[in-house]
Every structure is written in C-alpha cells, then in structure tokens.
C-alpha cells in the first residue's frame, strides 16, 4: 500500500538518503544506543524536515501549473526559508507572511529569506495570517499569476507524504545495520512529520517502534488532535483505509519551557552539553527541546537503558544565529 505514495508527483530538492549516524559518545553518556537521522544535512539552503514535505507540495503545485508559492510562519521560520529556497530552485516567485514570535533582526532565517529575495509581509496578529495569504493570492490572480498557498509548516496531506517516504528510508538504513530501533524521538510542531512517520511505519507493517513527538509549544492534546487530522486527510488522499489507535500517537508537552519560540537557559545548557559531547549542533526552538525531552525520558526510565533510539535532527541550523543575542546571554 505504501506504493500509493509514488503515484504523487515529487519535485526533488536534495539528495537521499540523508546520513544516519551513531552518536557514540552521547550513547555512552546516556547508556542507550543512540542514532541520529541527519535531516539537517541536505544540499538545499541548509536543509531541514520541511524539504521532504516541500518536494510533494511542489509536485502538487507544479502539476496544477502554479507559479507563485505563498506561505506563512514565525519570523524565525525554517519552513519559510525552505519554501523560498524551493520556489527559487523551481523558478517560482514566493511570498512569505511572517508573524511573531521571532526576531526582526536581519539574521538567521530572516536574512536568508531576504537573500533569496522572497517578498515578505509582516503581520503582527497570527490569527490574520491566513486571511493575508488569501488576499495576496487574490491580488496575484487578478494580475494573471497562479498562486499556491502552503499552510504553515507545510502541514498538508502532501507534506505528510514526505515523511511516509522518510520512514522507508529509515527502515532501509537500519536494515543495513541489522538493527531495530525501539524509539524514534523528534520535535513536533504542526505534527506533519509525526503523522508521516506514524503512517509510514503502519504502512510498512511495523508496530513495535514507538514514535515520540516532543511538543515545541502546543499542549499534547492539541498536538494529538492535529496529528489525527493530518493522518485522516492523508489516508483520504492516498485512498487507503487504515486505522490508527489513539495509543499510536505519543506526544510529550513537558518540555515546552514557557511556549513556542521562548528560549530558556535549560535548553541552551542542553545545546551546549550535546555540542561539547558530540559536536552536534542543535537549535533552541525545536531540536534543543526535543533532545532535552529525549534525555529526560532516558533519565526517568520511560526509555529503558540500552534501548536503540533514533533521534531525528529536523534542522533549524540558522536559528542559533537569529537568536545569538539571547544565547550569548546564557553563555556568560
Ligand atoms: C518545523 C520544524 C519542526 C516541526 O515539524 P512539524 O512537522 O511541523 O511537526 C521540527 N524541527 C524543526 C527544526 C522544524 O523546522
């Protein structure tokens, strides 16, 4: 059934597979066998999980003959940066509707958005961003352009397809190692990545890997509702009948630290620790919080000692630079 995914047009934006590496020193420290899926290592504009989603979203946009992408995100949005890069690579125009939280300083993702000459519209009220995208689309249509609106985070059924394919890639890489992960841990925002992984593993007939989303802002219940919705629209798109049990969706909201986009000292400390032990760079909004969660789940024995664990590094490379002022404060 997973072959249905390959019926959908996909515009390739980078090279696969992304590396799967063992984090030997961090494994020893935590007394688990930790692997890292390096989805931060991609050739398109510093990479990240949005690239996988955008390949199918762009496939859909191009099949509908669209020539302008419109999306929304926080001022520090990785999704906005990668939508701009994807648009430029495919020769399309691009509009970004950017809202708080985030820094207006021309640094990190915002700097890259500008370098790619994305048309940026700043909107202070998050609740108005969808309307603003619609207005831009209407205006473009009246000028004879063909816009395509991408929901925030690339959280559409097409976006989910990207992580269904990633499941297959992860399985192949572990097969080559003759290992089976028991846990997959990653940062959860819109839930599209987690929806894709849950669906992907289900479609591959794998039911003994726990996929754990660490929420970066929303309450667990809201994350689960969003993931359920994304799973439902994606099975509909694929025209498959697949039942997901509520217990298949595991989300922890214990590591939000004040909310989405808020940077706290504990997370900067974890980033520093991982950088020092493993030479691995995380960011304070997504992967830093996810790694904090992983380490805490090991320490409180939710993840048993010696388990094989996969951490998905979902990207966010420019974010430490966008927030260097705050991070520097905690490094003193
Ligand atoms: C967007 C993003 C996430 C969250 O992914 P979702 O599919 O929206 O849940 C996690 N990590 C990074 C670095 C991101 O940019």
Q: What pLDDT is recorded for position 243? A: 87
User: 60 preceded by cis ω (within 30°)?
Assistant: no
Distance 68 CA to ligand 1 centre (A): 23
In tens, the pLDDT along 198-228 reads 999 999 999 999 999 999 999 999 999 999 9
Instruction: Please list the residues that pair with 84 across neighbouring strands.
Output: none
Nearest to 160 by CA among 212, 195, 206, 204: 195
In tens, the pLDDT along 224-256 reads 999 999 999 999 999 999 989 989 999 999 999
CA distance linking residue 96 with residue 112, whole number of Å: 12
Tokens 């700043």 belong to residue: 122
Q: Span 302-307, mean pLDDT?
A: 98
C-alpha to C-alpha distances, 61 to 9, 65, 72, 92, 282, nearest whole angstrom: 9, 6, 16, 10, 32
pLDDT tier for residue 110 given thresholds of 50, 70 and 90: very high
CA distance linking residue 150 with residue 293, whole number of Å: 29
Instruction: Please list the residues that pair with 187 across neighbouring strands.
Output: 214
Q: What pLDDT is recorded for position 205? A: 95
Kindly list the protein residues whose Cβ atom lies closer than 6 A to any atom of ligand 1.
Answer: 48-50, 78-79, 153, 155, 187-194, 286-287, 314-316
pLDDT of 191 strictly over 90: yes
Nearest to 134 by CA among 72, 221, 199: 72
- Report the mean per-residue pLDDT for the chain: 98
Q: Span 291-313, mean pLDDT?
A: 98
Q: What pLDDT is recorded for position 155? A: 98
Give percent above pLDDT 70 in the chain: 100
Q: Span 263-286, mean pLDDT?
A: 98
pLDDT tier for residue 1 given thresholds of 50, 70 and 90: confident
User: Can you give the residue ranges of every domain in the chain?
Assistant: 2-48+156-331, 50-153
Q: Which ligand 1 atom is the nearest neighbour of the CA of 189? A: 9
CA distance linking residue 41 with residue 34, whole number of Å: 18
Q: Which of 187, 191, 280, 289 to mutate to test the pocket of ligand 1 (most atoms within 8 A of CB)?
A: 187
First to last CA, the chain: 54
CA distance linking residue 102 with residue 98, whole number of Å: 9
pLDDT of 332 strictly over 90: no
CA distance linking residue 121 with residue 98, whole number of Å: 6
Do 2-48+156-331 and 50-153 share a fold? yes
Q: Ligand 1 atom 3: the closest Cα is on which residue?
A: 189
In tens, the pLDDT along 65-92 reads 999 999 999 999 999 999 999 999 999 9
pLDDT of 2 strictly over 90: no
CA distance linking residue 332 with residue 326, whole number of Å: 11
- Catalytic residue annotation: 77
Q: Which ligand 1 atom is the nearest neighbour of the CA of 193? A: 7
Q: Ligand 1 atom 5: the closest Cα is on which residue?
A: 189
Helical spans, DSSP H, in the chain = 24-30, 49-63, 78-90, 108-115, 129-142, 157-177, 192-203, 220-238, 265-278, 287-299, 319-322, 324-331
Backbone angles phi, psi at 328, to 5 degrees: -55, -40
Distance 79 CA to ligand 1 centre (A): 8
What CATH class has 2-48+156-331?
alpha beta
Q: Span 182-188, mean pLDDT?
A: 99
Q: What pLDDT is recorded for position 326? A: 96
Q: Which fold has domain 50-153?
A: Rossmann fold (3.40.50)
Q: What pLDDT is recorded for position 125? A: 98
* CB 197, CB 166: distance < 8 Å: yes
């Amino acid at each position: 059934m997973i072959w249905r995914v390959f019926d959908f047009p996909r515009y390739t934006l980078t090279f696969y597979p992304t590396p799967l590496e063992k984090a030997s020193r961090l494994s020893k420290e935590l007394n688990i066998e930790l692997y890292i899926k390096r989805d931060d290592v991609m050739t398109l504009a510093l990479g990240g999980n949005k690239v996988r989603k955008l390949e199918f979203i762009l496939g859909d946009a191009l099949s509908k003959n669209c020539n302008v992408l419109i999306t929304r995100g926080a001022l520090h949005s990785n999704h906005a940066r990668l939508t701009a890069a994807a648009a430029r690579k495919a020769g399309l125009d691009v509009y970004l509707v950017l809202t708080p939280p985030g820094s207006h300083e021309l640094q990190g993702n915002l700097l890259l958005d500008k370098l790619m000459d994305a048309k940026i519209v700043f909107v202070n009220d998050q609740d108005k961003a969808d309307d603003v995208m619609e207005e831009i689309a209407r205006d473009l249509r009246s000028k004879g352009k063909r816009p395509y609106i991408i929901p925030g985070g690339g959280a559409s059924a097409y976006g989910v397809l990207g992580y269904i394919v990633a499941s297959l890639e992860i399985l192949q890489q572990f097969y080559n190692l003759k290992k089976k992960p028991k846990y997959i841990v990653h940062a959860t925002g819109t839930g599209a990545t987690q929806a894709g992984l849950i669906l992907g593993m289900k479609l591959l007939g794998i039911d003994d890997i726990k996929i754990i989303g660490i929420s970066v802002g929303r309450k667990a219940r809201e994350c689960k509702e969003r993931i359920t919705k994304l799973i439902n629209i994606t099975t509909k798109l694929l025209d498959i009948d697949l039942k997901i049990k509520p217990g298949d969706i595991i989300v922890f909201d214990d590591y939000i630290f004040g909310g989405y986009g808020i940077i706290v000292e504990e997370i900067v400390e974890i980033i520093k620790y991982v950088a020092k032990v493993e030479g691995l760079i995380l960011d304070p909004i997504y992967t830093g919080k996810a790694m904090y969660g992983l380490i805490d789940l090991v320490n409180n024995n939710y993840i048993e000692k010696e388990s094989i664990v996969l951490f998905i590094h979902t990207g966010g490379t420019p974010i430490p630079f966008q927030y260097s002022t705050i991070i520097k404060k905690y490094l003193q």
